[in-house]
Amino acid sequence: MLKRHPLMIGIHTGGVWVAERLHRLLDFKEPLGTLDISFYRDDFTRIGMNPQVRTSYLPVNVEDRHIILVDDVLHTGRTIRAALNEIFDYGRPASVALACLIERGGRELPIEPQAVGERIQLGKDQHVKLLGPEKLELRIQEANG
pLDDT tens for 106-123 read 899 999 999 999 999 998
How does residue 9 score in pLDDT terms, banded at 50, 70 and 90? Answer: very high
Whole-number Cα distances in Å, 138 to 23, 49, 100, 114, 130? 20, 25, 13, 21, 5
Which pLDDT score, from 0 to 100, does residue 46 have?
Answer: 54
Which pLDDT score, from 0 to 100, does residue 143 have?
Answer: 75
Which pLDDT score, from 0 to 100, does residue 74 have?
Answer: 96
* C-alpha atoms less than 13 angstroms from C-alpha of 79 in its C-beta half-sphere: 20
Whole-number Cα distances in Å, 40 to 29, 43, 50, 78, 85? 28, 9, 12, 10, 7
pTM value is 0.90
pLDDT at 41 over 90: no
CA 120, distance to chain mean position in Å, is 18
Which pLDDT score, from 0 to 100, does residue 51 have?
Answer: 57
